[in-house]
């Protein structure tokens, strides 16, 4: 495999941001992957790969302390909100999607 292929690096960076956003938004990944038998998760990855808000996303993810503002720029925002864990939910039930 050609690791110098520019698209490979872009895909890796986008996938990492998606995982970071899922973690930061406290998304129940078990719930996320059950929607449409995994289709919603696959679609979220596709949206992230094609996202035009890379700068906003990186700034939001890298903010210290973490931003309390909702990342409304994120094309997956509403999906992630719908899949948020409820307070007191058991994180062990999370499927660990990355």
8-60 pLDDT per residue, tens: 877 777 778 999 999 999 999 999 999 999 999 999 999 998 899 989 999 99
83: Cβ–Cβ under 8 A, 6 or more apart, which residues?
A: 27, 28, 29, 31, 32, 35
C-alpha separations of 91 from 22, 86, 88, 94 in Å: 13, 10, 9, 5
For residues 25 and 86, the model is more confident at 25
The whole-angstrom separation of Cα 19 and Cα 25 is 10
**Contact criterion met (CB below 8 Å) for 23 and 16:** no
49: Cβ–Cβ under 8 A, 6 or more apart, which residues?
A: 10, 11, 14, 15
pLDDT at 89: 63
Please give the average per-residue pLDDT across 62-84, as a whole number: 95
For residues 61 and 12, the model is more confident at 61
pLDDT above 70 for 68: yes
Quick one: which of 83, 24, 13 has its CA closest to 51?
A: 13
The predicted model scores a pTM of: 0.75
Please give the average per-residue pLDDT across 57-64, as a whole number: 93
């Amino acid at each position: 495999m050609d690791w110098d292929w520019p698209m490979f690096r872009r895909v890796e960076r986008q996938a990492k941001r998606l995982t970071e956003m899922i973690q930061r938004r406290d998304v129940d990944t078990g719930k996320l992957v059950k929607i449409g038998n995994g289709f919603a998760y696959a679609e979220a990855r596709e949206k992230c790969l094609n996202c035009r808000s890379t700068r906003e996303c990186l700034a939001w993810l890298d903010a210290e302390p973490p931003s309390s503002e909702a990342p409304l720029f994120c094309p997956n925002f509403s999906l992630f909100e719908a899949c948020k864990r409820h307070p007191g939910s058991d994180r062990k039930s999370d499927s660990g999607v990355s």
